């Protein structure tokens, strides 16, 4: 799927793996620039819905019960021979297990190597707008947002590894020069993450570090949680490459879980 999809918002929403009549367990609106964290349990789908164009959502993932185990960008990329994430990809921990799977993506590309904006960059690019001047309309950076949320769970700078930037696209030419792909995400674009482990999710909706915008106006992201259907043997993320099959096997061993071959798979038809 190209960036700048021609699909309508309703058509994008219809690509969800969650049936239209299934109610969310909860919903939460993450305002542009703000930060958020929560423990998301295994077997939950978290839907991210961009509320405006040019959204960016920086995300880090930690094993909720052993936070030394965390999202590992190099292992994620090299295991799947990709420099970006989209539907069919998974997010690996540094222990060879799958924290979450990208089961839906209407953008076609989510950046996995650029990291986050920091306070100095935000100030240089957009100007200084602090709480005294703007109250909660203040300008926030991705790094500070992630560190604030991480601090609430006993994590700090040592744990701030390369994050995923959902809704943003950065590619490279044949010399490795980075290319910012403008007009990538549109209002109504959705990414759905199915959590395969109990995961501490850390989010920041501050601007992407390469976003050349001169006004600070990051999009809000609607977070919606749903109960996930069991991961089927023919699940798109499990079967997208043989590596992911082994990643699921490692994850199931961790939970001493029933192998997928014995699970009923009708809910995943067409996945």
Partner 1 sequence: MEIKSITSPASFKLSAPLKESPLTEATAINSEICAAGEPWMGRVAKGQTFRIVDLEGNQAVDTLFFNANNLEERYSPAHTVQKSGQLYLGLGSKLYSSNAQVMATISADTCGRHDTLGGACASESNTVRYAMEKRPMHSCRDNFMTALTTFPLAEEIGLDVRDIGANINFFMNVPVLPDGELYFADGISGAGKYVEIVAEMDLIVLISNCPQLNNPCNGYNPTPIKLLTWEATNHA
Binding-site member from 177, 256, 261, 266 for partner 1 (CB under 8 A)? 177
174 is an interface residue for partner 1 by CB under 8 A: yes
Binding-site member from 34, 113, 126, 153 for partner 1 (CB under 8 A)? 113
CB closer to partner 1, 84 vs 224: 84
Site string for partner 1, 33-72 (x = CB under 8 A): -----------------------------------x---x
Binding-site member from 95, 148, 257, 263 for partner 1 (CB under 8 A)? 95
73 is an interface residue for partner 1 by CB under 8 A: yes
Q: Of 251, 268, 259, whose CA–CA distance to 197 is shortest?
A: 251
1/7 Cα distance (integer angstroms): 10
Binding-site member from 193, 247, 268, 271 for partner 1 (CB under 8 A)? 247
227/59 Cα distance (integer angstroms): 21
Token pair 């190099």 is found at 74
The stretch near partner 1 (CB under 8 A) out of 19-27, 36-44, 94-102, 220-228 is: 94-102
158/60 Cα distance (integer angstroms): 13
204 is an interface residue for partner 1 by CB under 8 A: no
159/135 Cα distance (integer angstroms): 29
Number of residues counted as binding partner 1 (CB under 8 A): 58
4 is an interface residue for partner 1 by CB under 8 A: no
State in Å, rounded, how far the first CA of the chain is from the last one: 16
92/198 Cα distance (integer angstroms): 13
Check if the beta carbon of residue 204 is closer than 8 Å to that of residue 223: no
126 is an interface residue for partner 1 by CB under 8 A: no
Binding-site member from 55, 64, 77, 231 for partner 1 (CB under 8 A)? 77
User: Residue 62 contacts by C-beta under 8 Å, 6 or more apart in sequence?
Assistant: 69, 70, 71, 153, 155, 159, 199, 200, 202
157 is an interface residue for partner 1 by CB under 8 A: yes
Check if the beta carbon of residue 146 is closer than 8 Å to that of residue 163: yes
CB closer to partner 1, 51 vs 82: 82
Largest CA distance in the chain: 59
The residue ranges that bind partner 1 (CB under 8 A) are 68, 72-75, 77-84, 86-89, 92, 94-97, 109, 113-116, 118, 120-121, 156-163, 171-179, 209-210, 236, 240-241, 243-244, 246-247, 249-250
């Amino acid at each position: 799927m190209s960036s700048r999809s021609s699909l309508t918002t309703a058509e994008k929403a219809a690509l969800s793996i969650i049936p239209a009549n299934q109610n969310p367990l909860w919903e939460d609106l993450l305002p542009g620039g703000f930060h958020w964290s929560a423990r998301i349990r295994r077997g939950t789908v978290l839907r991210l819905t961009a509320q405006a164009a040019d959204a960016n959502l920086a995300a880090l993932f930690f094993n909720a019960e052993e936070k030394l185990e965390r999202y590992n960008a190099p292992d994620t990329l090299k295991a799947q021979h990709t420099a970006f994430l989209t539907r069919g990809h998974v997010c690996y921990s540094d222990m060879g297990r799958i924290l979450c799977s990208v089961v839906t993506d209407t953008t076609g590309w989510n950046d996995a190597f650029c990291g986050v904006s920091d306070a100095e960059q935000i100030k240089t690019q957009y100007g200084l707008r602090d709480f005294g001047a703007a109250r909660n309309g203040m300008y926030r950076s991705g790094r500070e947002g992630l560190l604030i949320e991480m601090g609430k769970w006993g994590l700090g700078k040592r744990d701030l590894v390369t994050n995923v930037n959902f809704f943003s696209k950065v590619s490279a030419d044949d010399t490795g020069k980075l290319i910012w792909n403008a007009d990538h995400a549109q209002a109504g674009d959705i990414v759905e993450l199915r959590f395969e482990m109990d995961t501490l999710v850390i989010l920041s909706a501050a601007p992407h570090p390469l976003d050349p915008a001169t006004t600070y106006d990051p999009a809000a992201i609607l977070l919606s949680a749903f109960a996930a259907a069991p991961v089927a043997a023919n699940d798109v993320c499990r079967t997208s490459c043989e590596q992911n099959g082994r990643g699921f096997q490692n994850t199931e061993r961790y939970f001493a879980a029933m192998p997928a071959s014995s699970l009923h798979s009708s809910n995943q038809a067409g996945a």
